[in-house]
Amino acid sequence: MPAQEKQGHSPTVTGSISPRAQTPATDTPEPTLHGDAPSNFEQVLPTESTPPIGRVQFWLIFVALMVTSFLSAIDLTSVSTALPTIVEDLDGTEFAWVGSAFALGSTAILPLIGGLCQIFGRRPVVIASILLFALGSGICGGASNMAMLIAGRTIQGMGGGGILATGEIVIADMVPLRQRGAYMGALGAVWGIASAIGPPIGGAFSQSNWRWLFYMNLPLSAIALALVWFFLHLKVPQDDLRSKMSRMDWIGNMFVIVGTTLTVIALTWAGAKYPWSSYQVLVPLVLGMAFVIAFFVYEARVPVEPVVPWELVNNRTSFLGYATTFLHGIVATCLIFYLPVYFQGTLMQGPVKSGVSLFGLAFTVTPAAVACGATVAIFSIYRPQNAAGWALTTVGLGLLTLLKVDTPKAQWVGFQIIAGLGVGILYAAPTFPVLAPLPVRENAHALAFFTFVRSYSQTWGVTLGATILQNQLKIKLPKAFLDMFPAEGVEITYAAIPQIPGLPEPMGTEVREAFSSSLRVIWLTMIGLCALGLICVLGMKEIKMHEVTDEDWGIEERQRAERDAEKGLEKP
């Protein structure tokens, strides 16, 4: 017997065939027909055909997941508008690390989340993630310097990444992929609401007391923890702790944590603190990418229970789904982080007003994500939605390149709406090509890796945008203004914004024009990534989606009922 099958939860972890899985399900995708699923797909069939949708406990669990997702989303979207105030108050310069640290924490821990969920069950991982997020929020709120703030953001990111990944994993346990669109759209709507109210909330706190931007997460965490504690009762593996710990892929996790950390450090320093050609950038970047490559090689060949099973990426459609997720994460993060720079640096809006000005983008994300999920559920297709998302995002970014100092309000609001529709669709759409070719037993690993890719891409988005903006501003800002920031390696973007209203003319207008033209380079770069995303969609296949779930996971209530029924049958 293989090592995995000795554990108490073998059907989900190992792919052994449970007694009820011997007869192929009629709704199972046919990999031989489509030529796009792992070769061993036929051996690991779904074994549950009655999802608990409609039951009270299901909806209570779903509400708990929406609250936890809101908790992570509101923090990500509210910090950007408060950044200038926070950096100024803490006498900091490296503003990019405030965003990068959150992405770093979530990225480093996410591959581990899938394994933890498989071995320890979903509920303890959700609880631990909420507690980590609350701890990081408390540290950020009490930060006395930038180093402490960045440390808190890293811990926040670990918790936030776990929250997002486990939310998608639990939904996948209870709802078949074929029906999941509407529910994932609802979770996307949570992100949309957070995107809408996060920026003005961040701006409001920055004008009163930015520390409460983080402290407000503590009561929200308490509410989320209570909901999870009382309602999220799911099936759990029955192995003892020693067996569970021995099954963890510690070496694989070490590879990915070291690799992502070194990569993020290099990207954050590149072009802003040190030149791209400097050893301070090249050494960690090369080492980081080497560790990431070594991680995938190791995962494909060595561990019995890998962090990222090779079958997740060895078919074309899933691989391209992950690729579009990575590209979308970069584009969406640049929009969320750097559109407020246009409002504050070019239009000279305050933090609150700049957050309100972002409503054009934020309010369209929600209906677009919901509509995407609904159309997938109704028509059982996902390629057109992915293509439409990239097309709309490309058009929206193209329009954003037209933004200038004197752009009318109607135009910059309308441009955001088009970009927001595309970005919103792409928050939900890539999930389906990723999961359709894979067996349902791999939901946890696949979705944890999905969230890892999205989080990793957010790191690239923040740092890539920061590098472009920093380098362009150094070229385009008036020399007299640059001389106000003589310190070597100072990231001038957020340090410069508070100085603009007091500048004499014509310097004030020149600085504002420098900001708008520098941001234009970011939007042009993002258009190139959108074109690449559209090409990836063209390479996907339309594979029939699962209409069943995995019996090894789901609501604990059903598990108890089945055991009771079996005991009843055994009585004489």
pLDDT digits (tens, 9 = 90+) for 152-202: 988 988 888 888 888 878 887 778 877 777 777 677 667 667 766 776 777
Provide mean pLDDT across the span 436-448.
81
Do 314 and 273 share a structural domain? no
* Nearest in space to 186 (alpha carbons), one of 339, 40, 69: 69
Confidence of residue 31 (pLDDT cuts 50, 70, 90): very low
CA distance 453 to 426: 14
Q: Percent of the chain scored above 70 by pLDDT?
A: 79
Q: What is the pLDDT of residue 109?
A: 79
Q: What is the pLDDT of residue 28?
A: 37
Q: Among 286, 304, 322, where does a domain finish? A: 304
CB 211 within 8 A of CB 148: no
pLDDT in tens, 543-555: 888 766 655 555 5
Exposure on the CB side of residue 261, measured as CA atoms within 13 A = 11
**DSSP one-letter code for 270:** B
Decide if pLDDT at 91 tops 90.
no
Provide mean pLDDT across the span 483-495.
66
In a domain, 273, yes or no: yes
Instruction: Give the structural domain span for 276.
Output: 249-304
Q: Which residues contact 142 (CB under 8 A, 6 or more apart)?
A: 148, 211
Q: What is the pLDDT of residue 572?
A: 44
C-alpha triplet 282, 284, 286: angle, nearest 5°:
60
In a domain, 164, yes or no: yes
When divided into structural domains, the chain yields a total of 2
Decide if pLDDT at 566 tops 70.
no
In a domain, 518, yes or no: yes
User: How many C-beta atoms lie closer than 10 Å to residue 405's C-beta?
Assistant: 14
pLDDT in tens, 370-404: 888 888 888 889 999 999 999 999 999 999 999 99
User: Helices 96-120 and 443-476 meet at what angle, rounded to 10?
Assistant: 170
In a domain, 498, yes or no: yes
Q: What is the pLDDT of residue 71?
A: 76
CA distance 547 to 28: 8
Do 352 and 328 share a structural domain? yes
pLDDT in tens, 109-166: 777 787 787 777 788 888 999 999 999 999 998 988 888 888 898 898 888 888 888 8
Q: What is the pLDDT of residue 491?
A: 63
Do 199 and 63 share a structural domain? yes
CATH number at residue 221: 1.20.1250.20
- At 211 the three-state DSSP class reads coil
Do 360 and 495 share a structural domain? yes
CA distance 387 to 433: 12
Q: What is the pLDDT of residue 318?
A: 92
> Residue 439 corresponds to which tokens in the numbers above?
């067996």
- Higher confidence at residue 87 or residue 211? 211
* Nearest in space to 176 (alpha carbons), one of 428, 551, 448: 551
pLDDT in tens, 240-254: 667 766 767 788 888
Decide if pLDDT at 30 tops 60.
no
What is the rounded average pLDDT for all residues in the chain? 77
Do 449 and 404 share a structural domain? yes
Provide mean pLDDT across the span 294-312.
80
**DSSP one-letter code for 503:** P
Do 298 and 211 share a structural domain? no
Q: What is the pLDDT of residue 211?
A: 87
CB 177 within 8 A of CB 545: yes
Do 350 and 413 share a structural domain? yes
Provide mean pLDDT across the span 341-351.
87
User: How many C-beta atoms lie closer than 10 Å to residue 536's C-beta?
Assistant: 22
